[in-house]
Amino acid sequence: MLADEVRPAPTTVPPATSSPSLTAPAPKGDAAVCVDAPSTGGGPSKLVVTSKRKPKPIYEELIPIALLVAVIILVIARLPKVAIDHSPAFRRRRVLNWLPLGLTYAFLYMARYNITVLKDAGALSGSDYGDINFWGALTYGIAFLINGPLTDRWGGRTTILIAAAGSLATNVLMGVLIATGNTGDLKLTLSLLFSLNMYFQSFGAVSIVKVNAGWFHLRERGTFGGIFGILISLGIYFAFDWGFRIAVTLPESPEALFFIPAGILVVFFVLCFLYVRDNPSDAGFADFDPGDASSGQSNEREPALKVMKRLLTNKIILIIAVIEFSSGFLRQAILQWYRDFAKGVGGTDSFVYENWGLVSCVAGITGGVFAGLISDHLFQSRRAPMSAVLYAVMLGGAIVVLMFIGMPVVVSWTIAVMAMAIIGVHGMLSGTASQDFGGKKNAGIAVGIIDGFVYLGNAFQSQVYGRTLPEKGSCAAKDLDNWLAWPIWMIPLAVLGFVLGIVVWNARPDKPKPR
């Protein structure tokens, strides 16, 4: 579950002539006027978690996740294999390659979303958090223009090590400043350090796609997209549920939210160094033609600007990037704001709210895996059809949320279904289509462009919702009218993603002639 209970109780004052600074309408009649949480600019330097609520035993959440993963492994094992012949030894070594790489990516989430848990601990208002997240997401998106070409040049193994080392270092720095109280202007300090953290974090997705482009044939990559969805879902679970446990277990030491993920990343830095290799040939196996856009190309390296120009003039890649802009908006609209909504309107007794980390993890795993399997086995490894189907689910879900916004239980289960859909889309496009259309040689630049748009969408939603939605725990949050902007903004983004998915329904990567 998320750490929303650690926020301070809402503050009310007698009715006054001044209106709250939120753009949402103030409560009507004799209701108390809501007071916005104070800005963290120059705010308290020592943060203390105040929640007394104990989390459920961890086995109650880990057992269902483990059972789900076991069932998925069994289903995948029983499915007809795509026509790619790999030896059992190769498959075992491939698992040893992507597993530590993928778990490193998952724990990078824990070292990223701890800033959200800090917000839920009451240190940041929604508006200030929106600003901090905006700068971090903007940095993440723009950094891809640099880090994508660097990943293609240096290899994904090197850049995942940079991601882990850089993120753990910035997390240690944030933890030290919070522990000592030497943060100065907390909002400014966190904006700068979170942006630096997000620069290093941006190597993560590029690295995992770059490495696996050499280990998975195009016909296998739908399944990899499912694996990518599992990793995203586990990352979200680690970030929010484990973050909550850290917060309530060490209420007077919020710096632990930064030190513990940093310590975990040290372990996975070592594992990646020992086991991850860029190509099968680096691990003693023969390289093979992946059947993607790089097939038939020579091994001669092209200038990064030339590759970027070619990809940015590729209509299919640009359309996928715009779809992923919508994905970035919608994914964070769900993950960052659902529990604020439920807390405000009285939906805290629903199963989804009480078990949000578990529900979102299970939904994401289910959506990612089955989207990948259907993409490979039903749509002949075309990614756009599955994306369009999942965006139809997103559109329908946003409309249901708008229509039934006064029924929190209905909204909660609808949001769970939407989480399944949007994580499935993200795995299909950022995790898989970027490899297909960028090719093994240029996967770093391709995923940089596509995932960069994801975080531009994230930055956009941070500004939109940070300024239009009420503060969690405030009186304004209890007024349903103040939450209408939440689903209303989702609808046009879902329409955009659905329509563009239809446009590229039959798209396949072009195989260039040998040079």
Q: Which residues pair with residue 13 across a beta bridge?
A: 33
**What is the spatial distance between Cα 36 and Cα 286, in angstroms, rounded to a whole number?**
61
* Confidence bin at 385 (pLDDT 50/70/90): confident
Q: Ranked by mean pLDDT, which of 163-172, 176-185, 217-226, 318-327 comes out on top?
A: 163-172
User: What residues contact 97, with CB distance under 8 A and at least 6 apart?
Assistant: 211, 215, 275, 276, 277, 283
Give the pLDDT confidence of 263-305 residue by residue, as tens digits: 999 999 999 999 999 999 999 998 887 765 555 555 666 676 7
Give the pLDDT confidence of 144-153 residue by residue, as tens digits: 888 888 988 8
On whether residue 197 sits in a domain, the answer given is: yes
DSSP 3-state of 13: strand
On whether residue 14 sits in a domain, the answer given is: no
**What is the spatial distance between Cα 64 and Cα 73, in angstroms, rounded to a whole number?**
14
Q: Tell me if 212 sits within 8 A of 437, measured CB to CB.
A: no
Q: Decide if pLDDT at 254 tops 60.
A: yes
> Tokens at residue 420, please?
């399944």
On whether residue 9 sits in a domain, the answer given is: no
On whether residue 390 sits in a domain, the answer given is: yes
**What is the spatial distance between Cα 5 and Cα 217, in angstroms, rounded to a whole number?**
46
**Mean pLDDT within 125-141:** 83
User: What residues contact 11, with CB distance under 8 A and at least 6 apart?
Assistant: 35, 474
Question: Side chain identity at 45, as an amino acid letter?
Answer: S
On whether residue 23 sits in a domain, the answer given is: no
Question: Side chain identity at 29, as an amino acid letter?
Answer: G
Q: Specify the higher pLDDT residue, 50 or 67.
A: 67
Range of the domain at 450: 91-280+289-503
What is the pTM (predicted TM-score) of this model?
0.74
Q: Ranked by mean pLDDT, which of 79-83, 290-294, 316-320 comes out on top?
A: 316-320
Give the pLDDT confidence of 337-378 residue by residue, as tens digits: 898 898 888 888 888 887 787 788 888 888 877 777 787 777
**Which of 77-91, 93-107, 260-274 is predicted least confidently?**
77-91
- On the 0-12 / 13-18 / 19+ scale of CB atoms within 10 A, 192 is middle
On whether residue 11 sits in a domain, the answer given is: no
Domain count, the chain: 1
- On the 0-12 / 13-18 / 19+ scale of CB atoms within 10 A, 379 is middle
**What is the spatial distance between Cα 185 and Cα 301, in angstroms, rounded to a whole number?**
46
Using left for φ > 0, alpha for ψ between -120 and 50, and beta otherwise, residue 42 falls in left
**Mean pLDDT within 112-140:** 80
CATH number at residue 245: 1.20.1250.20
pLDDT of residue 128: 79
**What is the spatial distance between Cα 32 and Cα 230, in angstroms, rounded to a whole number?**
44
Selection from 464, 514, 443 nearest residue 206 by Cα: 443
**What is the spatial distance between Cα 77 and Cα 80, in angstroms, rounded to a whole number?**
8
- Cα radius of gyration (the chain): 22
Give the pLDDT confidence of 225-247 residue by residue, as tens digits: 667 667 778 888 888 888 878 87
On whether residue 59 sits in a domain, the answer given is: no
pLDDT of residue 20: 34
> Tokens at residue 125, please?
């208002």
On whether residue 304 sits in a domain, the answer given is: yes
pLDDT of residue 161: 98
Neighbours of 492 (CB within 10 A): 13
